[in-house]
Copies of this chain bind each other. A is one copy, B any other.
Amino acid sequence: MQQRSEETRNHILQASQRLFSTYGYDATGVAEICQAAGVSKGAFYHHFPSKQAVFLKLLENWLEILDGGLRAISQGTQDVPHILLQMSDILTEVFQTADGQLPLFLEYWLQASRDEAIWKATIAPYQHYQEFFTALVQRGIDEGSFRAVDAHIAAQALVALAVGLLLQGLLNPRGADWSQMPRQCMQLFLDSLTPKNTGMEVV
């Protein structure tokens, strides 16, 4: 019984993701979600209080996966430059698996600009990533991999670079070799952080 309930919940989430991507958040109603998921309205409201709750749950699930990936890499024993290079490969994975998901990414930002609850759910992760990367850059400085740069600014630039590449890669999948570009940009950016006089190269 619990398994079936779980299945229903997943059907709702999957159908919502498909409809939000294709028709947009505003144009998708609970009725359409129920029809596409093959569930009753009663079943829908048993699992989610509103369409917005589904929307936010989809974001939360996606961010949890991203978070898990980043944390697993950051707990490795490599030095920070290599950790950051490995993290850049996550973007490549997103490009490979995000087929048709661009509208959904953009919907979060668009709805965030119009709705306080969604704004909080969309902006909170940014602040979290900002702190995560500030700590990681600081670790790089402490271990001697990086110059004594302002870790906060470096983290801001890292997050901006990732978001900018994400947007461009999703908007224009054939505009560059996206299987290489994130790592190449990260490699270049790392050169801004490494000490000037060692001639160190991260390979």
Contact = CB atoms under 8 A, between A and B. Distances in A.
A123 B196 contact: no
Contact of A102 (B24, B113, B184, B189): B113
Contact of A171 (B112, B150, B181): B112
A172 B123 contact: yes
Contacts of A107: 110
A126 B164 contact: no
A176 B188 contact: no
| A contacts with B: majority SS | helix
A55 B114 CA distance: 20
Interface residues of A, number: 51
Nearest to A190: B192
B114 A171 contact: no
Contacts of A168: 126, 156, 159-160, 163
Contacts of A153: 181, 184-185, 188
Contacts of A192: 188-193
Interface in A89-116: 102-103, 106-107, 109-110, 112-114
Given A185-B153, A189-B157, A197-B197, A167 B171 contact: no
A113 B104 CA distance: 10
A16 interface: no
Given A103-B110, A196-B197, A165 B175 contact: no
Interface of A: 24, 26-27, 102-103, 106-107, 109-110, 112-114, 119, 122-123, 126-127, 130, 149-150, 153-154, 156-157, 159-165, 167-168, 170-172, 175-176, 181, 184-185, 188-193, 196-199
Given A157-B185, A161-B161, 13 more contacts: A102-B109, A106-B109, A110-B110, A112-B171, A126-B171, A126-B172, A153-B185, A159-B164, A160-B167, A160-B168, A162-B164, A190-B192, A191-B196
